[in-house]
Amino acid sequence: MMRLPIRVRLTAWYLAVLCVCLAILGGVILVAARASVARIIDSDLSARLTATRIFMEQHISSEPPAELQDEFQEYSASQPGGALLQIKEESGEWIFQSLSMQKCAIELAPSSAAESSRFSSTVRGERSFRIITGKVAVRARNYAVQIATDTTNFTLVLQRLKWLLLISTPLAIGLALAGGYWLSSRALVPVRRVTETARSIGGDELSRRLDIPQTGDELQFLAQTLNDMLARIENSFKRMTQFTADASHELRTPVAIMRTTAEIALRQKRDEETYRKALQEVLEEAERTSSLIDDLLTLARADSAAQQLELSPTNIAEGIEMAFSRIKFLAAEKTVAVSLQVIQREVWIEGNHEALLRLFLVLFDNAVKYTPAGGKVSAVFDVVKGRSVFRIQDSGIGIAPEDLPCIFERFYRADKTRTRKQGGSGLGLAIAKWIADAHKAEIRVESTLGKGSVFTVEFLESRIELAQQDDALSVSLEK
């Protein structure tokens, strides 16, 4: 089903509500005006009936019938609204009937014994009347009295009011329709502007932003939100482009080395030893390249969130010890003294053993790599203030303060002059950070240039299991 534009829907809703309101208002005005006019007329008629009753009590017994007619004539003419009065005795004999009443020929039926007066309405030709019929008892005789008032003008006024409402309501609705449509179109202009700008932003112009209308309303909030979203998209787009560029750059070098080494070796006939050396060099480069590709893959999967680490209860100390045993030989080769102290052995976490091993390997590897021969690397794993903490300290080259905030970035190397053989690809700490995040752990570094560095991994959620005779008592550490 085709959806109508929002301004049309807004106007339609507004119109529907307005129609209902106007219909209710018009109805209420008409009914209230009619009721109020009727109340005024009826109370006037009641007052006139009371006055007539008093007049009759005073005159009927004292005046002879001939004069009584004149008295009634005079009285009826003096009444407001004219001489619409007729009086009949219970026996049916007319006491008085004014001329205008005769003309109207309104039937005078005596009211029942129970009621003292009753109201009725009647129409004679083009004129309408409101009538009160009452019972008056004078000297043990009952009379039926009828007083009428001409309501033609009131009816006319009410008719006019009705027509006025019937004509003016559609007019008001028409005006409101035009006004409502104009207003909603006007109110939606900034939305259209934001939409047009958003539509015009292409993939190569992610640095462009929407103009934010300073209206302090939902529109401003929407534009700001869209701008924030654009900034996030731009950021990740930049990171992706940078990552691809850095990755290609990193891969180009070893491939070039392998190619040149092979080309030189093949250029002329050489002895076996030279070929062996060349092949050895190619192998080393190939190994480095394949580990670089592994790292790149890990980070690419981490970015796409496709690689969700499978978590299961894992012993942290076990991972640390395993990494330590692997690094020992490398350290010995480099004559760097390494030591590990695991104070708390049974600390468990919902984690991934392989990933944790990699995290500790990166830290041990870096510590040994960036510590000159004769230096010292010492690592401790313990529970400090309810949290399990791994801390590795080296007496190596240290990191300059300006590099410290960047070392967890991809491809960042603090010392740019270091050769690829000495340093690494600059991906180790980025991977370590990702693994730490996935294990709700915090990774920090403190370092002094020329003196050494300390890397700390603090696990925010872990539990320690203490062996108590046969039962293992599990104590949850702070979350």
Residues that bind ligand ADP (CB under 6 A): 362, 366-367, 370, 394, 396-399, 407, 412-415, 423-430, 453
Residue 329 CB, nearest approach to ligand ADP (Å): 19
Burial (0-12, 13-18, 19+ Cβ within 10 Å), 216: exposed
Give the residue from 288, 274, 276, 360 showing the smallest Cα distance to 324: 360
- The pair phi, psi for residue 451, each rounded to 5°, is -115, -30
* Comparison of 150 and 295: residue with beta carbon closer to ligand ADP: 295
Question: By the 8 A CB rule, do 357 and 323 touch?
Answer: yes
Closest approach, Cβ 360 to ligand ADP, in A, equals 13
- Indicate the residue among 150 and 394 with the shorter CB distance to ligand ADP: 394
Q: What's the min distance (Å) between Cβ of 241 and ligand ADP?
A: 20
Residue 377 · residue 394 · CB < 8 Å: yes
Distance from C-alpha of 94 to C-alpha of 98, rounded to nearest angstrom: 11
Beta carbon of residue 387, minimum distance to ligand ADP (angstroms, whole number): 22
CB of 397 to ligand ADP, least distance (A): 5
Alpha carbon 152 to chain centroid, angstroms: 61
Q: How far is the CB of 426 from ligand ADP (least distance, A)?
A: 4
Closest separation in Å from C-beta 458 to ligand ADP: 17
Q: Which one, 72 or 364, has the nearer CB to ligand ADP? A: 364
Pick 104 or 432: Cβ nearer ligand ADP = 432
Cβ-based nearer residue to ligand ADP, 254 or 396 = 396
Q: Which is nearer to ligand ADP, 267 or 416 (CB)?
A: 416
Question: How many C-beta neighbours within 10 Å does residue 247 have?
Answer: 20
Q: Which residue is nearest to ligand ADP (CB)?
A: 424
Q: Measured between alpha carbons, how far is 476 from 479 in angstroms, rounded to an integer?
A: 8
Supply the minimum distance, in Å, between the C-beta of residue 337 and ligand ADP.
15
**Cβ closer to ligand ADP: 190 or 428?**
428
Using CA atoms of 185, 189, 194, 195 in order, give the dihedral in degrees to the nearest 10: 40
Residue 422, token pair as written in the block: 């000495």
What's the sign of the alpha-carbon dihedral 151, 153, 156, 160?
A: negative
Residue 104 vs 430, nearer CB to ligand ADP: 430
Backbone angles phi, psi at 114, to 5 degrees: -70, -40
Return the structure tokens found at 64.
């002879």
What the block records as the tokens of 296 is: 């790149």
